[in-house]
């Protein structure tokens, strides 16, 4: 067996809010970091004139002093400032002769590129040209990246989740919890479809008394709370804001349905986390979501913005417990087969060995 190469991995703080941080937590908890000789260096940047950006500068200095010890530079990024903050590290890595991997997240990088000024477009293309490999989360993203960087060497490696609860009784617990829990977990913004979900809930009368809707995340929390109150939905819809740790895990364990009607996505960690607990998913056919959720198999996929279709999908799942049970089992099986930490460890090991 070839000797493992030393990897320096860069991304947000594991304790931060967001999908990349959740993935990093899974890498750490599952032992991927130790197994593959990965040292993780967090960086944090605020898009403002804030003293917090001093920590970004200190992190860059620390990385600059230590990167010489590593063979591979593996950076996680999404769009706008998430990419801009790692760009200097791509230059540094190239100057020091390191193999470079850009690990792309989120569902809006192509939009970021289209909206950028020509100068920044050149920087984006140049950054990607420095990378020995670009990791994307689904096959759907290959053509999107090739559209602005034909020479990019792209590899598809999905996000992974840890199946913490294989308890065969968990499915029964979800059935027994009344009213049925419908869970949304993501940024509380329009592009995640949260307002569409609120509109769909309004259409569910008179069965709305049978459900409890929980909207978790950061963003336009107060605005959504006000809309819910004005619409008289505050008895069945709650907006606790961002949740993490055991609170987050408990919500997934009791959720009967997970709903994320996004307009743009990469491959949401929240969908994979829901499926790992046997929760059927109602979402949209964008980004890498169809790679995880087969329409009619692990859940139901609709078109973005289809509020009537969203309401109909919720009704269908609430009224057909046999279908729910089949999808619940299929969701757990899909995670164990395609999105386990063992599978991703194997894929990363092979990728690092190639470089």
Are 70 and 200 within one domain? no
Q: 217-270 pLDDT, tens per residue?
A: 989 999 999 999 999 888 899 999 988 888 988 999 989 999 999 998 888 889
Q: What is the pLDDT of residue 168?
A: 63
For residue 216, count other CB atoms closer than 10 A to its CB.
21
Q: What is the pLDDT of residue 331?
A: 93
Whether residue 265 is contained in a domain is answered as: yes
Whether residue 2 is contained in a domain is answered as: no
Alpha-helical regions (H) of the chain? 19-30, 32-35, 53-66, 81-84, 87-95, 109-115, 118-130, 140-146, 170-176, 194-202, 221-230, 245-254, 269-276, 289-292, 307-318, 321-338, 341-354
Q: What is the pLDDT of residue 161?
A: 87
Are 310 and 348 within one domain? no
Are 217 and 312 within one domain? yes
Q: What is the pLDDT of residue 2?
A: 65
Instruction: Reply yes or no on whether the pLDDT at 288 is more than 90.
Output: no
Paired tokens of 289: 């979501």
Are 58 and 191 within one domain? no
Are 21 and 153 within one domain? yes
Are 208 and 141 within one domain? no
Averaged pLDDT for residues 291-311: 95
Are 139 and 258 within one domain? no
Instruction: Reply yes or no on whether the pLDDT at 208 is more than 70.
Output: no
Q: 77-101 pLDDT, tens per residue?
A: 888 888 888 888 998 889 999 999 9
Q: Give the domain range for residue 264.
A: 170-338
Antiparallel, parallel or unpaired: β 211-216 and 99-104: unpaired
Q: What gap in Å lies between CA 122 and CA 27, rounded to an integer?
A: 32
Q: 148-164 pLDDT, tens per residue?
A: 888 889 999 888 888 77
Are 69 and 205 within one domain? no
Identify which has the larger pLDDT, 268 or 209.
Answer: 268
Are 81 and 198 within one domain? no
Are 65 and 136 within one domain? yes
175: CATH = 3.40.50.2000
Burial of 221 (0-12, 13-18, 19+ CB in 10 A): middle
Are 145 and 275 within one domain? no
Paired tokens of 268: 């949401």
Alpha-helical regions (H) of 42-191? 53-66, 81-84, 87-95, 109-115, 118-130, 140-146, 170-176
Q: 26-70 pLDDT, tens per residue?
A: 888 888 988 999 999 888 755 555 556 677 778 778 888 888 999
Instruction: Reply yes or no on whether the pLDDT at 315 is more than 70.
Output: yes
Q: What is the mean pLDDT of the chain?
A: 87
Whether residue 204 is contained in a domain is answered as: yes
Whether residue 165 is contained in a domain is answered as: no
Q: What gap in Å lies between CA 158 and CA 297, rounded to an integer?
A: 19
Q: What is the pLDDT of residue 209?
A: 65
Are 324 and 344 within one domain? no
Residue with tokens 């139901």: 300
Number of domains the chain is built from: 2
Averaged pLDDT for residues 123-144: 89
Q: Please report which confidence band the pLDDT of residue 285 belongs to, taking 50, 70 and 90 as the band edges.
A: very high
Whether residue 41 is contained in a domain is answered as: yes
- Strand order across the 299-302 sheet: 237-241, 211-216, 180-185, 257-260, 281-284, 299-302
| Range of lowest pLDDT (179-193, 205-219, 293-307) | 205-219
Q: Please report which confidence band the pLDDT of residue 13 belongs to, taking 50, 70 and 90 as the band edges.
A: confident
Q: What is the pLDDT of residue 169?
A: 66
Paired tokens of 86: 């790692």
Nearest residue to 220 (alpha-carbon basis) of 200, 191, 258: 191
Can you say whether residue 193 is alpha, beta or left, with left for phi > 0 and alpha for psi between -120 and 50 degrees?
left
């Amino acid at each position: 067996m070839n000797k493992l190469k030393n990897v320096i991995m860069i991304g947000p703080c594991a304790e931060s809010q967001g999908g990349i941080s959740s993935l990093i937590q899974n890498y750490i908890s599952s032992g991927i970091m130790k197994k593959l000789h990965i040292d993780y260096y967090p960086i944090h940047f605020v898009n403002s004139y804030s003293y917090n950006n001093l920590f970004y500068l200190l992190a860059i200095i620390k990385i600059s002093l230590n990167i010489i010890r590593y063979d591979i530079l593996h950076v996680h990024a999404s769009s706008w400032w998430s990419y801009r903050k790692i760009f200097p590290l791509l230059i540094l890595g190239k100057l020091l002769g390191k193999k470079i991997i850009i690990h792309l997240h989120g569902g809006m990088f192509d939009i970021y590129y289209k909206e950028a000024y020509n100068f920044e477009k050149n920087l984006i293309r140049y950054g990607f040209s420095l990378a020995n490999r670009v990791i994307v989360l689904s096959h759907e993203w290959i053509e999107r990246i090739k559209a602005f960087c034909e020479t990019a060497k792209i590899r598809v490696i999905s996000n992974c989740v840890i199946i913490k609860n294989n308890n065969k009784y968990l499915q029964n617990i979800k059935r027994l919890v009344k009213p049925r829990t419908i869970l949304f977990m993501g940024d509380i913004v329009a592009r995640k479809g949260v307002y569409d979900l609120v509109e769909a809930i309004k259409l569910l009368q008179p069965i709305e008394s049978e459900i409890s809707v929980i909207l978790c995340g950061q963003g336009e929390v107060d605005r959504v709370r006000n809309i819910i109150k004005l619409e008289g939905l505050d008895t069945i819809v709650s907006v606790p804001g961002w949740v993490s740790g055991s609170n987050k895990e408990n919500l997934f364990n009791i959720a009967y349905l997970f709903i994320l009607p996004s307009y743009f996505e990469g491959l949401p960690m929240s969908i994979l986390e829901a499926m790992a607990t046997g929760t059927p998913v109602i979402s949209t056919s964008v980004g890498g979501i169809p790679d995880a959720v087969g329409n009619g198999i692990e859940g139901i996929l609709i078109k973005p913005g289809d509020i009537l279709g969203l309401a109909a999908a919720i009704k269908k799942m609430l009224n057909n417990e046999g279908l729910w049970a089949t999808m619940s089992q299929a969701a757990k099986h899909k995670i164990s087969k395609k999105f386990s930490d063992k599978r991703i460890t194997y894929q990363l090991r092979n990728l690092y060995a190639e470089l």
